Structure 1
Amino acid sequence: MRFLEEELKPDLSVDIVHLMCPIHLLELNEAIKQIEPGQILELVTDYERALEDVPKWCEVFGQEFIGLREDGEIYKFYIRRKI
């Protein structure tokens, strides 16, 4: 897991706090389509399972998992669209 010291400036931020499986992955799938290759998506959630799911989703779908920041019970995932 790559924890980031500083927040990145995303091109799009999607807040899915209080949404659980499988909604978090469906929202991620839709959000990544809204940005161009090379741009950064920030996914904000409080769902602990996302710690496993989001990096794996990136691997499976060919996107770059940059890392995440943890702020209390909130996780901010940073993903760069590759394709």
Structure 2
Amino acid sequence: MEHHSLLDASGLMCPEPVMMLHVEIKKIEPLEVLKVIATDPSTTRDIPKFCRFLGHTLVKQEQEGDVYYYWIQKREK
């Protein structure tokens, strides 16, 4: 899936991936897509909650083995 920016949070544990996500989502323009790569299973709970709470769209979520992928579209202003 197409994306504008990438956050590789592999090897990081809660709460670091979501803390980094807060920083990275601010760097992209509204409606752009940020791809997140993570290895912490808690991201399967935390990233969807992050999106719902802040109004971003979780466009796609995949898992390949122990690696989790998320495509998040930044909300409009």
TM-score class, shorter-chain normalisation, is: over 0.9
Q: TM-score, normalised by structure 2?
A: 0.93
The CA distance in 2 between the partners of 1:51 and 1:57, in whole Å, is 11
1:27 deviates by: 0.4
Point out the structure with the larger helix share.
2
1:46 deviates by: 0.6
Q: Which residue of 1 aligns with 2:62?
A: 69
**What aligned pairs does 1:39-58 form with structure 2 within 5 A after superposition?**
39-58=32-51
**What aligned pairs does 1:3-82 form with structure 2 within 5 A after superposition?**
8-82=1-75
Amino acid paired to 2:60: G
1:24 deviates by: 0.9
Amino acid paired to 1:60: F
Q: TM-score, normalised by structure 1?
A: 0.87
Identity in percent:
26
1:14 deviates by: 0.8
* Aligned residue pairs, count: 76
Q: Hey, which bits of structure 1, 4+ residues long, moved more than 4 A?
A: none
